[in-house]
């Protein structure tokens, strides 16, 4: 279908565009952006008056749980959840069962996505076989099958020499290396951030230094190898300082932060709320403020969900045994938009960090409304609010600490290749 979206505020950092305009879509691609009121013959019209139009959101860090853990999520439900959150492109991590450490598993995931996905799915392969941190995975074979980066997310590669060789190899293949920065020797038995709250609760905490140590080590390895290092889910103020210094040196360093690390502090666990148990842990307010400042200044490049669905059985088993992670697709944009409402980010900065930049980091044909690009478009209503109800999520996961929160800017429409993959009936009706 050919159509035109009219009267919306179009924000596209890739073109330094922020104005009221119309977007023309032809054959699933952007045919142009215009301010004329003339409607081409044979085109359907979407009236986006008072709505915010942007390039489709790009999530460079999520967990779809297929293969092996489809009781938690599958490609159909996970990508429907992504569409409901405004995401048109997502990249799934390698910690499946079996681990995505071979070309065969990569091919399986991509084949399943072609059959069942509602949005564009890109695949991240493992750095090491089985995420064991002992033997390098088959990066070249996975690259040929379609991976866009490598990561042992959920585990830290503790062997520095192996990490060095992995960076060298990944660099020859043009693959970013995404790290889960956590010195495991400092974290045995830990369930949350080490600080006043963990002491009050009598729980073992993870010190922020456990992240900082690995961030600094891997920055040194990036300096040594010239590889593109991407630091996943930054949670520590000292990590931010190290990343900022590395960028000043001109190293190829990028970083991401999650909406939950921007929105919560460790006080969210005061009543043993297992849905706020994540890894890296949510830290205290000083760390949260440092993350927001780094995001605003561009030290942190992207916002990524780390969408990690779990069953109720995985979560409702006490703080020590509860799985780490929370669902994130359907709340991510609205949580991040709170920073706009609080005047801490501009709309353009937010779109840059949730669409344009993550697409660029992974080398995706996404994150832009330039002529000829796929018509991957997200439309939100900045005037409205909505109340989080996890029982209504498209995801199989209900593990959200934001249940009951009133949030701004609900997603109204999500388009992938010019097709509506999500339509928010309640928001449209209001």
Instruction: Return the CA Rg of the chain.
Output: 21
CATH code for the domain of 393: 2.30.40.10
The values of phi and psi at residue 404, to 5°, are: 90, -10
Active site residues: 306
Question: Cα torsion for 212, 217, 223, 227, to the nearest 10°?
Answer: -90
User: Residue 36 — pLDDT band, cuts 50, 70, 90?
Assistant: confident
Same structural domain, 182 and 241: yes
pTM: 0.97
Q: How far is the C-alpha of 9 from the C-alpha of 17, rounded, in Å?
A: 10
Same structural domain, 21 and 168: no
User: Residue 427 — pLDDT band, cuts 50, 70, 90?
Assistant: low
The number of domains in the chain is: 2
Is 198 part of any domain? yes
Residues of the domain holding 104 = 56-362
Express each pLDDT in 157-193 by its tens digit. 999 999 999 999 999 999 999 999 999 999 999 999 9
Is 411 part of any domain? yes
One DSSP character per residue, 122-176 reads EEEE-SBGGG-SSSB--HHHHHHHTEEEEE-TTS----HHHHHHHHHHHHHTT--
CATH code for the domain of 233: 3.20.20.140
Express each pLDDT in 189-219 by its tens digit. 999 999 999 999 999 999 999 999 999 999 9
**For residue 230, with 0-12 CB atoms within 10 Å meaning exposed, 13-18 middle and 19 or more buried, which class applies?**
buried
Coil, helix or strand at residue 396: coil
Is 35 part of any domain? yes
Same structural domain, 232 and 332: yes
Same structural domain, 38 and 70: no
Same structural domain, 324 and 336: yes
Same structural domain, 32 and 76: no
| Cα dist from 297 to 301, 339, 346, whole Å | 9, 13, 11
User: Residue 231 — pLDDT band, cuts 50, 70, 90?
Assistant: very high
């Amino acid at each position: 279908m050919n159509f035109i979206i009219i009267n919306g505020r179009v924000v596209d950092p890739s073109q330094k565009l922020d104005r009221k305009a119309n977007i023309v879509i032809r054959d699933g691609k952007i045919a142009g952006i215009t301010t004329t009121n003339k409607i081409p013959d044979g085109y359907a019209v979407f009236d986006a008056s008072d709505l915010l139009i942007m390039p489709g959101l790009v999530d460079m860090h999520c967990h779809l749980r297929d293969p092996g853990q489809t009781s938690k999520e599958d490609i159909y439900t996970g990508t429907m959840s992504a569409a409901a959150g405004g995401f048109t492109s997502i990249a799934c991590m390698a910690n499946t069962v079996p681990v995505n450490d071979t070309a065969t598993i990569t091919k399986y995931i991509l084949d399943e996505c072609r059959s069942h996905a509602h949005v564009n799915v890109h695949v991240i392969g493992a750095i090491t076989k089985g995420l064991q941190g002992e033997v390098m995975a088959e990066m070249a074979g996975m690259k040929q099958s379609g991976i866009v980066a490598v990561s042992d997310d959920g585990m830290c590669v503790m062997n520095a020499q192996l990490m060095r060789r992995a960076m060298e190899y990944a660099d020859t293949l043009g693959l970013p290396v995404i790290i889960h920065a956590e010195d495991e020797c400092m974290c045995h038995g830990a369930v949350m951030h080490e600080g006043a709250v963990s002491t009050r609760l009598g729980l073992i905490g993870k010190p922020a230094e456990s992240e900082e140590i690995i961030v600094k080590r891997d920055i040194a390895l990036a300096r040594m190898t010239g590889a593109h290092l991407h630091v996943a889910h930054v949670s520590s103020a000292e990590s931010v300082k190290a990343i900022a210094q590395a960028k000043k040196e001109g190293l190829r360093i990028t970083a991401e932060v999650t909406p939950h690390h921007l929105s919560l502090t460790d006080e969210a666990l005061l009543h043993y709320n297992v849905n706020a148990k994540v890894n890296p842990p949510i830290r205290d307010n000083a760390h949260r403020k440092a993350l927001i400042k780094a995001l605003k200044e561009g030290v942190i490049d992207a916002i990524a969900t780390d969408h990690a669905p779990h069953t109720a059985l995985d979560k409702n088993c006490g703080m020590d045994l509860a799985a780490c992670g929370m669902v994130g697709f359907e709340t991510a944009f609205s949580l991040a938009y709170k920073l706009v409402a609080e005047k801490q980010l501009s709309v353009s900065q937010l779109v840059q960090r949730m669409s344009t930049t993550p697409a660029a980091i992974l080398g995706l044909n996404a994150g832009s409304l330039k002529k000829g690009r796929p018509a991957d478009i997200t439309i939100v209503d900045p005037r409205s609010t909505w109340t989080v109800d996890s029982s209504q999520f498209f995801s199989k996961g209900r593990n959200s600490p934001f249940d009951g929160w009133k949030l701004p800017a609900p997603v109204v429409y999500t388009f992938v290749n010019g097709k509506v993959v999500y339509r928010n009936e309640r928001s449209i009706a209001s």
